Structure 1
């Protein structure tokens, strides 16, 4: 159920949320928050196998646009932005909440990463956000906000995070450069860095339960973050009140990142 919020602070704004796989997805938490604040949403699903899980969530969001998007398939990303342009003329935000690395690349040492696996990891986890920004720019005629999801492993070595830490470091650097380039047009760019969450993507990281336990025990808030915590923090940054905040990596982790 979408949270009840009295103030529709994002009413009139329209945007895209990419990465909803099921009701446990960070992207779903973001979509719920944006919709609760009054925004109109376009959502995507990875493929036909994923569609039955995403379709009821899209109905709950009353999303007028729901399309397939596998960023590895040429033309699909362009088709999504063309549809939004045709129906809405312009957009206000994009939430990029996808990442992928082949299992053998993710679970191996960085120093052993095969070239193909490395390129796939960077292509889907980082370049796809750059390309979405490229496609979104002409549709953000009155400015807007671009979001992507990162993790603490971009800055510190997190056991078993491996090559994804390299990809997230590249992603956060891209955020800063794009924020500098797009800022004069009123387009803000952010990386959101949640604490560890039990999502489907996290299930590919060995010993992830230990990471969750450590976060809960050592974070100053002594609490794990939820997808709704992440969603509301992200939605706030899309509001005009945050118009002078850009290029940041925002940690939503109960303070976990400040603890040694």
Structure 2
């Protein structure tokens, strides 16, 4: 039985970087379930990587920092698909500029913050807007958030408020799209993952190892676990989930006062 019902449906995934990416894991789930997957990546190098990982998938390049690039890739995908509609879009894109090193939050540079908002949050809104004419009436549009935006992890800095804005956009997009469709917007919010993108966050390894201790099973969250939830949200089996940020953290948030950690600190 095809429980998810994604066989022969079409999905566009933005953000694959390499085999460790959550975008890659979601794509593999969909392909395994018989879906057609189109990847959109940032650079020529990532295009070659995506083609190796997904030899039967079409791959396009789009740097979402410039909105005209989103319009251009929309047109290319439209030409490829013809009358075929898109059943789901994945936005797995985030960027923060730490080129000047880690700063206290109140010293965040305006240009860095606005660039990160543009790439990490506004691009999701822009993709939804420009692709709306290609989407099926009951399509699922998904982004990747973080498990909490209300814990002041110093090394994550200004990205948490930006992810909070991304989370907030879900209900507004769903509401505005409800005027002409039943398209849903949701987010998967994993705890710390072992991805190349995460490795760019200062001090991430220490945070990752700490999270592993806090998780009740004492094993870190797997990228495939977050991807499994994302795949479900892309399917019509999740049709009752609308405008939500689904936390996938293996229980980390309920276990900050783990006895082993308390003893180690005290």
Same fold (TM over 0.5): yes
Note if 1:154 corresponds to 2:163.
no
Q: Give the equivalent residue in structure 1 for 2:205.
A: 209
- Of 203, 222, 246, which residue of structure 2 is paired with 1:250? 246
Query: 2-side partners of 1:19 and 1:178: how far apart?
Result: 20
Q: Which has the larger radius of gyration?
A: 2
Indicate the SS of the match to 1:257: helix
The 5 Å alignment of 1:113-128 reads: 113-128=108-123
Q: Give the equivalent residue in structure 2 for 1:82.
A: 75
**Structure 1 residues 259 and 175, CA, compared in 2 at 3 Å: closer, same or farther?**
farther
Indicate the SS of the match to 1:176: helix
CA RMSD of aligned residues (A): 2.0
Measured against aligned partners, the alpha-carbon deviations of 1:37-92 in whole angstroms (never above 9, x if no partner) come to 22111102211233332220121xx21x2111111244221122222222323211
Measured against aligned partners, the alpha-carbon deviations of 1:106-145 in whole angstroms (never above 9, x if no partner) come to 7222211111111101000100000011122222232211
Query: 2-side partners of 1:58 and 1:115: how far apart?
Result: 38
Indicate the SS of the match to 2:213: helix
Note if 1:240 corresponds to 2:236.
yes
**Structure 1 residues 46 and 21, CA, compared in 2 at 3 Å: closer, same or farther?**
same
The 5 Å alignment of 1:26-175 reads: 26-59=22-55, 62-63=56-57, 65-88=58-81, 89=83, 90-104=85-99, 107-175=102-170
Tell me, which stretches of 5 or more residues in structure 2 are unaligned?
A: 257-266
- Contact (CA 8 Å) 1:34, 1:231: kept in 2 or not? no
Find runs of 4+ consecutive structure 1 residues off by over 6 angstroms.
none
Query: 2-side partners of 1:106 and 1:172: how far apart?
Result: 26
Task: Please give the TM-score of this superposition, normalised by the length of structure 2.
Answer: 0.88
- Contact (CA 8 Å) 1:69, 1:76: kept in 2 or not? yes
Task: Please give the TM-score of this superposition, normalised by the length of structure 1.
Answer: 0.90
- Contact (CA 8 Å) 2:40, 2:60: kept in 1 or not? yes
